[in-house]
Structure 1
Amino acid sequence: MNEQLLDILLNAKDWLTAAQIADKGKWRSEANVSLQLKQLQGQSRAVCRKSATVKDAKDRPALEWRHPDLARAECEGEAAHIAGSPTEPAPVTTSALEQNLAEQLQAHKDLAAAAAAEVAEVQAERDQLQATLAEVSETLGYAKEAMKAQGGIITQLRQELAARDQASALVAPTGYAVAVPGRPLRRFTKPESATRRAVAAARGKSGRSEVFALIPIGRAQRSAEWQATHPTAA
């Protein structure tokens, strides 16, 4: 890339900005071109000056670049023109070199200030991101604690429901008995059948009847063994 930059500078008819050089070399990054030009300047293979007409992105005079030989020839031509002897170019004065060095030094300072500002901006963004991450982590911690607490409540409710289901299963009736005065008990499997029988008996001579739920509390087997099926028979 450096050789291509030098070739562009050697063939340039005038001073060029980094953007113009990037356009000629078909490079996308103007900042990368500026960095390479600074390296060439440190090797005394390129010189720069502040433009009198072109502004950079921060509305400051843009830096213009040229090959040292062309810049020297331009200075010598201007000095010869001022002296009135174009056939005998005047040497470059010390004041001109000092001015050029001062401009280069100021350009370095401007670049350093711009770099420092960008670093400060990046650090501020990083601090903001870290603060946001800390807030998100804290929120996630609260959410995890809440989910853990809700999980404990759900587990407790499930246990209570299971206990209720078990208790309901223990007291669930297996049949129904209808008691009519003066008549033996009659057993029914469905509560609707028992209800209809009780109503019919109450409308008859007895005048009343009762329905009882049958809940088994144990089972006796032929071997004369007793097996409890209800807590009250244990």
Structure 2
Amino acid sequence: MSSVVQGFTKSLAMTVLSEIGDKTFFAAAILAMRYPRRLVLAGCLSALIVMTILSAVVGWAAPNLISRKWTHHITTLLFFVFGLWSLKDAIFGDGDDEELAEVEEKLNADLKANSESTKNNSKADDDVKKEKRPFLVQFFSPIFLKAFSINFFGEWGDKSQLATIGLAADENPFGVVLGGIAGQALCTVLAVVGGKSLASQISEKIVALSGGILFIVFGIQSFLSPVES
């Protein structure tokens, strides 16, 4: 039970500090300003849950492919690397405004392309039609698919995904999954409900600094912990 709690708390803290102010956080906030919030929330959260489970499964399977000793050392190294990476972003990063502008510009270009292909349709009328559809049918709407794909592919290969894999290889994978999902749910709800105003008020430097320190603490703890056979 203690291993599950430890995996949960580590995963929760790591996820929150990795995802708040991340590109997928900004994307969820901006999408929620343009489309029905429940569809954006469902799409974003579904993608992040799937990504968390996949990452934990990869991490859980890693010790069966590589020796426990090597997975432990690789995980320890990853924690230090991601910690230094986050500290570098905190000290030398460009800040929130540029990342927010980059995400907004990309979404604006996508929105413009979509509006040109459907220029004779009113967005308001389209939203009304979607509201009248059965709930499950809405899950296959372009809004849900857009939110899902942006978050899923936005997280693919990100340091939070790699850190989740490493954490699941060294901690209880069930606890890592629960903590990751809880952290993703918290961040996604904040992004969708708070919107762009909340995203613009978050100091990415402080979050990156906190995340960097947390990763290094995890690395030191992992380095000092004995390798489980």
Q: Name the one with the larger strand percent.
A: 1
The structure with the largest alpha-carbon Rg is: 1
TM-score by length of 2: 0.25
Q: Name the one with the larger helix percent.
A: 2
Bigger RCO (CA 8 Å, 6+ sep): 2
TM-score by length of 1: 0.25
